[in-house]
Structure 1
Amino acid sequence: MTGRPANLPKFTDVPLNKGDPPFSAWGLYGKDDQLGCLNRQTDTIVVEAVKEIKTGVRVSLNWPLDAQSKVHFFSRQVFHKQIIDKSPRTVNDDFWTFNTQRDGLRHFGYQKEKRFYNGVTMEDIHRSKDTEIFKRTSIPLKYLQGVAESQGTEINFGDILIIRVGRTMLSSSLHFPPMLYRFMTLGYMKAFNQLSMDELEKLAKQNPSNLIGVERSEEVLEWIWENFSAVAGDHLAFEAYPPPKDWSMHGVLLAGWGCPIGELFDLDKLAEECERQNRWSFLVSSEMCNVPGGVAR
């Protein structure tokens, strides 16, 4: 697994079509494509990924579904669980209501153009009977513990913190096998769990929200474009929020490239295990919810 795919356009070539939104790559995998950057995860890469299994240690990345059940963020539905007593039989069922944090290609569009990946509109989505979903195994390479500290920045929960990951990594001697899944952790969950109820409510009511995240810059976009097929983190919005530019990372990644974004992944135990083994590459099996026509799974 060396080098970039021969058919991948250079970052300087996007948008691919005149008149398309900033940095978009619509049509790269066909006008009806629904996998986007996940097309980059070829059979060869998956076979190579299996070779990352060195021990039998397994780590779950699932944050409890009810971890944010006390407050509403972004006016979203909080998790609700209802257990149903099926008496007189000795049987229980349960029903869950929740909002997912795996952003798909129909979740966040280009706001000015009002278009999603490959030019899909809101009307297309809400009228569609399409049952296609994405299903791919994904592989992270390196846990970026200490990135903020390496830039001389102290993380204060609830502040706007821009992590200049692209600049840090591009200037380093690290090299990545191509087109993999990038995980980034900023210690969000540890800080979140230490907040009082008053602090949580204050944070949730911020408008606009001030959230830690990855820097919005062309440099970071190019780094992702050249190296990865999906991104994820342990924080709420992946990118620093609110947007300092007239475009957002969500818009470009999801609507422009079809690059899924994972949020609120529980990476603390994974980071500890990486530290213990002193290795930063591993196999991840990550399956999205099989919801035909879903937008964020």
Structure 2
Amino acid sequence: MMKRWKNRPEGSNWGEFGDDDQLGRLNLITPNKVLEAIKEVKVGKVFSLSLPLDMPGGSVLNPARHPPKLTATTRTDGKQVYLHSFKDDHNTTDVACDDMVTMSLQYSTQWDALSHIGSHFDADGDGTAEKIFYNGYKPQEHFSHPAHTPDGSSHAHRLGIEHMAQHGVQGRAVMIDLRRHFGDVRKLVGGKEIQKIIEIDGIDIRPGDMVCLHTGFTDVVMSMGGKPDADRLAASCSVLDGFDPALRQWVTQSGLSALIADNYAVEHRPYDFQGDGCHALLPLHELCLFKLGIHLGELWYLSDLAQWLQKNNRHAFMLTAPPLYLPGAVGSPLNPIATV
């Protein structure tokens, strides 16, 4: 097939996993990485790393994302299948409940697909920057906008979350415990701080590892009981400084396959940033999703696992974290499982 781009963004890896690649650095999670992960299982203890999917509650973190709503399914005759007796229909003893959910796929514990964030970049070399996504996939060819579909649906025909699901997400993961070093105060963490923690804690990060960042943010969220306080959250816990060149260099050179945090967005989101037309609002998202093909995990619950790892003088574990197999979605909730 003809290559979709003439120019690739500086510092990107477009084409290095193939011109039609839709997995990005997940390609580094090979069968050997799975075998590495199995070697990290010593006691067989399992941790769920998901929040309840109705948390954080409300829409404070993102006004476009709303809590899930469970409702009963409805038959063609209008009857709701919830505590529904089949005695009248079939003279049986059965009583059934059947439901459905309406939710924002990135409301709670989630993966970002590579179709989640693109950029304006002159990939075709015509002198004009156009909308473009990882490995040169284009909105007009590879995405269906709801304004242009008969039923108002959206669909990422390339870079959807289904590729992550098909590949499977199971491998070696490591924990970087920012909370243990910086507490629960708001702190921007750059590359120097990350590398210092890695050195102090003796963390061994290998190419293809999934990296988890424990900040304690989801503990703060859970303490609010579904009614998050925006000001308190904005002042709580460590967050990566995506504007720091040393941090972006570390992400690029570390060889990590996925970057995961227990906070919102992984990186600091400057809500007062008005933009200058030259820089991304979320530079770490741009680097990971647009340039390097690194999936981002957000709002995971990591505290129990982090405490156990610290108590047992460990940092590595096996992580099993597939998204929902939902073709065309740009993100997905999940219930990640750590095995130690």
Q: TM-score, normalised by structure 1?
A: 0.79
Q: Distance in 1 between matches of 2:116 and 2:175?
A: 26
Task: Name the structure 2 match of 1:8.
Answer: none
C-alpha displacement at 1:196, in angstroms?
Answer: 7.9
Equivalent positions of 1:208-223 (< 5 A) are 213-216=239-242, 217-223=244-250
In 2, the alpha carbon distance for the partners of 1:168 and 1:87 equals: 55
Deviation at 1:276, TM superposition (A): 3.1
CA–CA separation in structure 1 for the residues paired with 2:226 and 2:205: 41
Match of 2:18 among 11, 15, 30: 30
The root-mean-square deviation of aligned C-alpha atoms, in Å, is 3.0
**Structure 2 match to 1:79:** 68
Question: In 2, Cα distance between the equivalents of 1:191 and 1:54?
Answer: 31
Residue matched to 2:131: 114
Q: Provide closer, same or farther for how the CA distance between residues 210 and 52 of structure 1 changes in structure 2, counting only shifts above 3 A.
A: closer
Q: For 1:57 and 1:203, locate their aligned partners in 2 and report how far apart those are by CA, in whole Å.
A: 34
Q: Is the 8 A contact 1:63 1:265 kept in 2?
A: yes
**How far apart, CA to CA, are the structure 1 residues paired with 2:207 and 2:290?**
22
Matches of 2:257 and 2:227, distance apart in 1 = 39
Task: Using the TM superposition, give the Cα deviation of residue 57 of structure 1 relative to its aligned residue in structure 2, in angstroms.
Answer: 0.7
State the partner residue of 1:143. Answer: 175
TM-superposed CA distance for 1:202, in Å, is 5.7
TM-score (norm 2): 0.70
Q: What residue identity is the alignment partner of 1:183? A: C
Cα distance per residue 1:138-184 (max 9 Å; x no partner): 44543222x3664xx5633xx5x312255432672543222210000
Paired residue total:
272
Q: Check the 8 A contact 1:41/1:229 in 2, yes or no.
A: yes
User: What secondary structure, in the 3-state scheme, does the structure 1 residue paired with 2:163 have?
Assistant: coil
Moved more, 170-179 or 259-268: 170-179
Match for residue 49 of structure 2 among 54, 58, 61: 61
3-state SS, counterpart of residue 144 of structure 1: strand
In the TM superposition, residue 81 of structure 1 has moved relative to its aligned partner by 1.6
2:100 paired residue among 89, 95, 100: 95
Summarize deviations over 1:222-280 as a string: whole Å, max 9, x none. Answer: 22222201110100110111287923110110111111000011111111221332222
Distance 1:86 1:268, change over 3 A: same
Who is 1:181 aligned against?
210
279, 304, 308: which one pairs with 1:246? 279
* Contact kept? 2:111, 2:296, Cα under 8 Å: yes
Q: In the alignment, residue 194 of structure 1 is paired with which amino acid?
A: S
**CA displacement 1:12-34 (0-9 Å, x = unmatched):** xxxxx974334222111112111
Residue in 2 that maps onto 1:4? none
Cα separation, 1, equivalents of 2:85 and 2:226: 40
- Asked if structure 2 preserves the Cα contact closer than 8 Å seen for 1:69 and 1:80, the reply is no
| Structure 2: segments with no counterpart, 5+ residues | 73-80, 87-94, 122-129, 146-155, 333-340
Aligned counterparts, 1:205-284, within 5 A: 213-216=239-242, 217-227=244-254, 228-242=256-270, 246-247=279-280, 248-284=283-319
Between the aligned partners of 2:232 and 2:137, the Cα distance in structure 1 is 33
Looking at structure 2, the residues matched to 183 and 198 of structure 1 have their Cα atoms a distance apart, in angstroms, of: 26
Q: Relative to 1, partners in 2 of residues 1:129 and 1:71: Cα closer, same or farther, differing over 3 Å?
A: closer
Shift of 1:56: 1.8
- 2:58 matches 1:70: yes
Identify which of 33, 40, 59 aligns with 1:45.
Answer: 33
Q: Distance between the aligned counterparts of 1:185 and 1:91, measured in 2?
A: 41
8 A contact 1:71–1:201 mirrored in 2: no
Verify: 1:155 aligned to 2:181, yes or no. Answer: no
Q: In structure 1, what is the equivalent of residue 195 of structure 2?
A: 169
The structure with the larger Rg is: 2
How many angstroms apart in 1 are the aligned matches of 2:225 and 2:327?
Answer: 38
- Please name the residue that 2:77 is paired with: none
Q: Secondary structure at the match of 1:82?
A: strand
Which deviates more from structure 2 when the two are superposed, residues 35-44 or residues 66-75? 66-75
